[in-house]
């Protein structure tokens, strides 16, 4: 009888360790999904955080995340157990999920405007942040 209990205890311990390893591999996916989608919904689409959590983030393990929206810094942090992910909104770029970078470092990044002219001769279309379709950079 003692031998059976010992085997059951070992099996239970191995199951718990296996479950923790499995959850550890899922943690960045779960928290990253919640942070990125909530930040996009709040800062890009202008939706209410509670409504997004109730409708869009209410499934599977995603529903168990704890989300914090920082309206001043335009960030969303999602947590589940020991996992944590942060998404940052940048004007003109949308929402970026932080992975090994700081929010301040990401905000300081600047990218050159690369314009692309379509092969249509009329009207000339430019894809660059310019409101008037002018290009200060290179064209194709």
Predicted confidence (pLDDT) per residue in 79-129, tens digit: 998 889 999 998 888 888 888 777 777 777 776 655 555 555 555 555 555
For 50, the token pair is: 């509670």
**Higher per-residue confidence, 44 vs 93:** 44
Instruction: Let me know: does 41 contact 95? Beta carbons within 8 Å.
Output: no
55 and 88 co-located in one domain: yes
Please say if the pLDDT value at position 135 is more than 50: no
- pTM recorded for the entire structure: 0.68
Contact criterion met (CB below 8 Å) for 31 and 62? no
Looking at the structure, do residues 122 and 73 belong to the same domain, yes or no? no
> Which among 114, 111, 130, 133 is positioned nearest to 122, based on CA atoms?
133
Residues 46 and 95 in one domain: yes
The mean per-residue pLDDT over the stretch 49-66 comes to 88
Q: Are residues 75 and 136 in the same domain?
A: no
Q: Indicate if the alpha-carbon torsion angle 31, 35, 41, 46 is positive or negative.
A: positive
Residue 9 and residue 45 in one domain: yes
Which residues constitute the domain of residue 135?
Answer: 110-140
pLDDT in tens, 8-39: 999 999 999 998 888 888 888 999 999 999 99
Domain count across the chain: 2
Residues 131 and 90 in one domain: no
């Amino acid at each position: 009888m003692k031998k059976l209990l010992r085997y059951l205890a070992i099996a239970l311990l191995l199951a718990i360790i296996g479950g923790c390893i499995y959850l550890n591999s899922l943690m960045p996916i779960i928290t990253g999904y919640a942070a990125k989608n909530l930040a996009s919904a709040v800062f890009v689409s202008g939706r209410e955080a509670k409504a997004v959590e109730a409708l869009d983030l209410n499934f599977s393990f995603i529903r168990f995340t704890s989300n914090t929206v920082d309206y001043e810094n335009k960030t969303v942090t999602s947590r589940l157990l020991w996992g944590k992910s942060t998404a940052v909104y940048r004007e003109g770029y949308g929402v970026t999920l932080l992975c090994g970078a700081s929010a301040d470092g990401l905000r300081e990044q600047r990218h050159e405007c690369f314009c692309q002219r379509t092969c249509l001769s009329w009207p000339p279309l430019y894809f660059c942040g310019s409101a008037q379709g002018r290009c200060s950079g290179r064209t194709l």
